[in-house]
Amino acid sequence: MIKIFEMGKIRDEEIFARFEPTSSVEDSVKGIIARVRAEGDAALRAYSAEFDHVDVEDFLVSTAEIEAALAKVEPGFIAVLEEAAANIRAFHSKQVRNSFIMADKPGVILGQRVIPLEKVGLYVPGGTAAYPSTVLMDAIPAKIAGVEEIVMVTPPNKEGSVNPYILAAAHVAGVGRIFKVGGAQAVAALAYGTASIPRVDKIVGPGNAFVAEAKKQVFGQVGIDMIAGPSEVLVLADGKSDPRFVAADLLSQAEHDKNASAVLITDSMALAEAVQQELEVQLAKLKREEIARASIDHNGKIIVAHDLREGIDAANRIAPEHMEVCVDQPFDYLPLIKNAGSVFLGRYNAEPTGDYFAGPNHTLPTSGTARFYSPLGVDDFVKKMQYSYYTKDALEQDYDKISMFANKEGLTAHARAVDIRFGKEDRD
């Protein structure tokens, strides 16, 4: 059963504690990456047999496989995917940055070019659950950014095929090539390239502990979006909230993973106790009850604050991935929220609206990293290149100042590079 804490009557360390998995996969992942670098596709096939229990001859998903998958998916769901894609596209289109140029001083031109990445790799999980929503959330911002090629990797099932709903989402999102490989070995393939799978510039998308560790280890060789931990939701709710709604919202994230975190912060002990009981009622009805119960029992918390402002202060310290604000006037509280990946305002805005349909991205910072990380967006798929131009007359106006700056740092060759253009290279 979920525990109830009263703010001020228990140490912060216990209230704000996050579950940290104790088993390390660092060495295992290091070995997998090294083998993929050395053996390429042969290593991928060996790991597919070992981990996914399937023999894969050709990793590339064929056009025929995609067409067969689309035939299996209900037309109604295809329509939902297309509408969700339109919402995601509309939201992320507002994030596009423009290049700029400045010519404010005579003879000086400064500027910045916003350039899309050439090739991006999408990792899409395929383990305990399939996530077509992840395909939309990761691929659509990349397309808007202008990425030339999007390469997707996802683990196959024991029959050697990919979940048809994932392939349908990839078709709707405009993904290029799709490869049947998962785990740390797929991340290694994207980072270094094999005969079958191209090397990419950046890898995005969630995964298990092995995938997260692999992304961490290849960072620097390629870019990554973030190191994602278990899913989190924090619900801020006043005493008028319906305990059934709150319990359902907590469970919507608890069912992801036994290590997921579901937290309620409220100013009402009555609501806290009602939600505690309601969770037990709803848990018994879930298909993924075992997973959700482990999450609720080990990582779930109900925190009773003196008022909602104190509750928001606690929420900012937790910096949750998802935060719901269940009050009558939620926009009054929005300016006070500083640290959260995505905020869901109002009593009828359940977190799954963001997971699937509303438009904002669902690839979000976890484990308190919302203090300094942002949701995945168009910016993640571009780079900025700056440039400058000086005429001789313009540099003559500034070279003394630049030389002085360089000499103060003890970098005389820097100073000489500007001085020499005006016959001053030998000055003291």
C-beta of residue 172 within 8 angstroms of C-beta of residue 146: no
Of 92, 322, 324, 351, the catalytic one is: 322
Are 253 and 230 contacting, i.e. CB atoms less than 8 angstroms apart? no
* 353 touches 265 (CB < 8 A): no
Report yes or no: 378 and 110 within 8 Å, Cβ to Cβ.
no
Task: Please indicate whether residue 290 is annotated as part of the active site.
Answer: no
**How long is the chain?**
428
Please tell me which residue in 255, 278, 321, 351 is annotated as part of the active site. 321
Strand order of the β-sheet with 149-154 is 177-180, 149-154, 119-123, 202-204, 223-224
Do residues 166 and 126 make contact, with C-beta atoms less than 8 angstroms apart? yes
Identify whether 171 is a catalytic site residue: no
The answer to whether 10 and 1 are in contact (CB under 8 A) is no
Distance between CA atoms of residues 22 and 261, nearest Å: 16
Q: Report the first-to-last Cα separation within the chain, whole angstroms.
A: 77
Distances (CA, A) of 66 to 77, 157, 198: 16, 15, 20
The catalytic residue positions are 321-322
